[in-house]
Structure 1
Amino acid sequence: MSGDARRIIRVSAVVMRDEQGRVLNVRKRGTSSLMLPGGKHEAGEDPRDTAVREFAEELGVPLDASRLRPLGVFRASAANEPGHTVEAAVFEHPFVAPAARAVPRAEIEYLEWVDPAIARPDMAPLNTDYIFPVLPRQEPAKP
């Protein structure tokens, strides 16, 4: 495996927007960047299954894999691992009521519903460079 391949972190991430269009973001313990809920694939795991598993592990909120809408696969500088690139399969899931009451679990220290139209220095590059710019042009996933 080349050095470049070892520097790529493959993940799945979930965009969930509330009624005001804000996007749920999380911050992992010991880090400073807000990012979409999600995480690394387990061996042989489908990206959709990763998205569902990670959302439940991090926030205690179950998602329906059949309701995930693919937004694309994006590469950006990894927010918390200098010198690495994150390759994210990003899905949107319709808002579900339990998400409004979600609490941080596992490695998640903090969560926040953020307005994707407001620039913030604490956002992961994946959000600011790829995900947030396309959201205003797309209708939110329907509940």
Structure 2
Amino acid sequence: MPDIHVSAAVIVDDDGRVLVVRKQGTTRFMQPGGKPEAGESAAQTLIRELNEELGLHLMEADLRPLGTFVSEAANEPGHRVVAEAFATSIDPALATAQAELAELRWITPSDVATLPLAPLSLEHLLPLAWPAPTR
């Protein structure tokens, strides 16, 4: 199964909501981010993508590395997505859907059951934003 390498952002606001986006012509929501251009580091890729897609102006110091995660690709059948994920926090008023994005939403854990989400978001990234309570 071919791999698609991406950088992805887990963006949380002050109310604990997480930003997800949907690209034009697709049905599933996912964390914002995208594929690297030649010579870019994972953080540089994410900073560029967040600027292009959401109008955000971040620096590497604004990003906290979360690790590398692998899941079935949401929009490319037969492919796996290998994501370098980073966490950051922003004011929701700063993000606007641009470029290839059709929609953005700030979601809570209660939205997960009803919103079509990418496997990477469901399996790895949203659980990082909303850890399960310990007993």
TM-score computed with the length of structure 1 as normaliser: 0.85
1:136 matched residue in structure 2: 130
Please name the residue that 1:126 is paired with.
120
Return the offset for 1:103. Answer: 1.8
Q: 1:114 aligns with which of 107, 130, 133?
A: 107
Residue 134 of structure 1: CA displacement?
A: 2.6
1:19-98 to 2 correspondences below 5 Å:
19-95=14-90, 97=91
Q: How far apart, CA to CA, are the structure 2 residues paired with 1:31 and 1:114?
A: 18
User: How far apart are the structure 2 equivalents of 1:137 and 1:124?
Assistant: 18
CA distance in 1, matches of 2:94, 2:40: 28
Query: Which residue does the alignment assign to 1:17?
Result: 12
How far apart are the structure 2 equivalents of 1:120 and 1:91?
25
Is the partner of 2:130 in helix, strand or coil?
Answer: helix
**What is the CA–CA distance in structure 1 between the aligned matches of 2:99 and 2:60, rounded to whole Å?**
21
Deviates more, 1:112-121 or 1:12-21: 112-121
Structure number with higher relative contact order (C-alpha < 8 Å, ≥ 6 residues apart): 2
Equivalent pairs, count: 131
Normalised TM-score (structure 2): 0.90
Q: Which range is displaced more, 129-138 or 50-59?
A: 129-138
Equivalent residue of 2:13, what SS? coil
Letter in 2 for 1:106: A
Gapped regions of structure 1 (runs ≥ 5): 139-143
Please state how far the C-alpha of 1:61 moved relative to its aligned partner.
Answer: 1.1
Deviations 1:67-87, CA, capped at 9 Å, x for gaps: 210111000011111111000
What displacement does 1:135 show? 2.2
SS at match of 1:129: helix
Distance 1:82 1:20 in 2: 35
Instruction: Give the superposition deviation at 1:65.
Output: 1.2
